Every structure is written in structure tokens, then in C-alpha cells.
Chain A
Amino acid sequence: MTGLRYVYAVCRPFGTPLQSQLTGVAGDPPRGLTHHGLVAVVSHVPERDFAEEPLRAHLEDMDWLTETARAHQGVIDALTTVTTPLPLRLGTVFRDDSGVRTMLEAREEDFQRTLDRLEGRVEWGVKVYAESEPKETARPAQKAASGRDYLRQRRAQTRSHEEMWQKAESFSTALHQKLSEFAEDSRLHPPQNPALSQATGRNVLNAAYLVPRAHSEEFVEMVDRTKGEFPGMRVELTGPWAAYSFAGEADMAGGEKP
């Protein structure tokens, strides 16, 4: 089969084969392309969708993007169960196998260094949502009798709103501190938009933690214990993910935020 090469991840050679029914972004099963001590996980993709022009157009199409992102993540996920993959950003495409090999060779040292750093570690995502404010106390049912009453009610509402945010902030800060101390590394991500996440409540913390596999159970328990600890706060855990949030800074010293 001809076509372009879509690269999902770079990892070290792994013994376990990937699930046989696993398919990549264009339906083609991913395979390993080994060069020296590294494996690029690659699948063939058609030019009609992944050449520069069509790819650019597709990326603006939310449905296409969603499907492709899920397929990309599906491959990374499968790799995470058998090895420690370095996930590449969506849409990394080469003309042919030799292009992929050249890339592996050019960045060999970077990859090896990052693999050393991330070996045996996974990423856990923790989000905190502040559920909507207690309406009963904040909003009296009766209509304001006068302008002055109205203003008084508005002030009370604002105050209870502020209190809610303050609580959410101190809860999130304390949780993040506790989890950061346990994890090897952490990143704060921007809060998520409910239109995409379909989640209820305001997203007040969206963080990623780098945790060794061996300590993951403990980490999960730690997060679980905070659930329901504080009324009105919802804690959500996702993972284990490949170390997406910690892989993209191979060239940066000191682990500064990207």
C-alpha cells in the first residue's frame, strides 16, 4: 500500500504485540518501524486526506477532528498498556518510511533522554468542578418590592457567589498541592469549556500529574478519598494517559511550563 505515513508515537522496542483489531486514524492498523534502538509507531494514510491541503481543511471540521483525535488516542492508549510511548502531536505525517527513519535518527538523543525520564510513568488527569451555587439561599423566590430591595438581593447574590468561588479556590489549591507533592511532576491546564467536555459545573482545576505506574494505585486512592469531601465540589479523575503533558519539552531545561 502506498500513501503517507502517520506517526503516533516513538517508543523503545516492545515484546508484546498490539491488539490485532486495533486501527489507526485512517483505518489502517498501526505497526512499528524500528530504527536503531527506537520504534516509530506508524500507519499508512491516504494522500487525499492527509496531504497538506486536505489535512488543513479537515482540521477545521469538528467531526473529522473528533474521530481522528479519538483514533490517535486509541493507538497511544494501546501502546500505554505495553510500553511507555512518547506521544506525538496529532497530524505528524511523512512521505515515506525513509522520512520517518531520518526523523528518528535526527532526534535520537532527545527521544532517548525523554524516554529515560518518562519510563514506567503515566499521566493522571484531575479536574475539580464547582457545582452551581446554592440557589435557595442566594435567590429569594419573591420579586423585589423596590429598587432598593432589588439591589440588596443582587448584593447578597454576588456575595454568596464570591464565597463559593473562594471555597472552590482554596479546595482546588489544597488538592493540587497535595497531589503535586505525591506526583513526580505536575502541570496546570486551562479550565475546560463545558461545550466540549459536556460536564456540568464550572471547571476550576484542570491538572495533570506524572506518577510512576507502581504508585498509581496509591495516587488513585488519594484522589478518591477527596471525592465528596467538600459539598459542591466534584473531583474527576481520568487516566492512565500516556505522559502527554510531560513529553513535549525534551529540549527545555528545568521543566518549565511549555
Chain B
Amino acid sequence: MTTPSRMPEPYGQGSSANLADILERVLDKGIVIAGDIRINLLDIELLTIKLRLIVASVDKAKEMGIDWWESDPALSSRARRDELTRENAELRERLARLEELEPGRAEKREAP
């Protein structure tokens, strides 16, 4: 039996532990067992909370090479990439329209 007596004083634990510290552990870590009440935490919109845990610093983390959760479908930033693709397409479209407004180019392009 180990003796807890040598343990240092707790740091930032209990009621003062930050919510993100607690949620990332009780929701994301620990042993997964299918109980009688079948709730798959990954399935439901709780996902939005999981995303809120990480989304703030995702770009920075990726730059630093911390990106393992990308392979976790529940945490993938697919939605954000889709958003970028959409924005990109929109910008190209606008650019094309502007080019058409420019007389020189418009002539060349619209020449039969």
C-alpha cells in the first residue's frame, strides 16, 4: 500500500481547478465502458463543447506540430477547412467579376 503522506500539497485542485482541466479529463479521458444507459459522448452535440475545449488555439498548435487530434474524427477541424474552401471559392468568383469589369481584360476574354 502506498502512503499518501509524502504527497505534496495539491496544486489548483478541487473547487479551484479550472473547468477545462476537469472537463478534458472526465469527458475525454478515463475508461470508456458501455453502461446500460447508452450515451456515446462522441455522438451527440456535446461535441460542440469538446470543440470549444480546443478550437481557440488549433492553428498555433498545428504550427507546433501538436495535431494528433486531427485523426480523432470527433475533434477534426473539417468544418473549418470547409469554411476556408468556401471562402476561397467566393473570393475567386469576386476576382473573376472584377477582372471582367476591367476593360482590357474584359475585351480579351469576351472576344468571339
Contact = CB atoms under 8 A, between A and B. Distances in A.
Contacts of B60: 165, 191, 202, 204
Q: Is the interface of A mostly helix, strand, loop or mixed?
A: mixed
B2 A213 contact: yes
9 contacts: A59-B39, A72-B26, A99-B36, A190-B54, A190-B58, A213-B2, A213-B7, A240-B10, A247-B30
B111 interface: no
Q: Considering the complex of A and B, which 4 residue pairs feature the smallest CB-CB distances, nearest first?
A: A190-B54, A191-B57, A93-B37, A197-B20
A73 B17 contact: yes
B14 A77 contact: yes
Contacts of B3: 213
Interface string A161-200: 0000100010010000000000000001111111111110
Interface centre among A15, A191, A204, A257 (most CB of B within 10 A): A191
Interface of A: 4, 7, 10, 15, 50-52, 55-56, 59-60, 62, 65-66, 69-70, 72-74, 76-77, 81-82, 84, 86-95, 99, 103, 107, 114, 119-120, 122, 125, 165, 169, 172, 188-199, 202-204, 213-214, 216-217, 220, 236-241, 244-245, 247-248, 250, 257-258
A7 B33 CA distance: 10
A94 B35 contact: yes
A220 B8 contact: yes
Range for the number of chain B residues in contact with chain A: 35 or more
A248 B49 contact: no
Given A73-B22, A99-B35, A191-B66, 14 more contacts: A52-B37, A60-B45, A87-B25, A87-B30, A90-B30, A93-B37, A192-B54, A192-B56, A193-B20, A199-B18, A216-B6, A239-B13, A244-B25, A248-B31
Given A59-B46, A190-B75, A193-B56, A217 B18 contact: no
Contact of B44 (A60, A87, A244): A60
B30 A191 contact: no
A103 B36 CA distance: 10
Nearest to B24: A189
B92 interface: no
A238 B12 contact: yes
B17 A248 contact: no
B68 A239 contact: no
Contacts of A86: 30-31
Contact of A244 (B6, B14, B29): B29
A90 B41 contact: yes
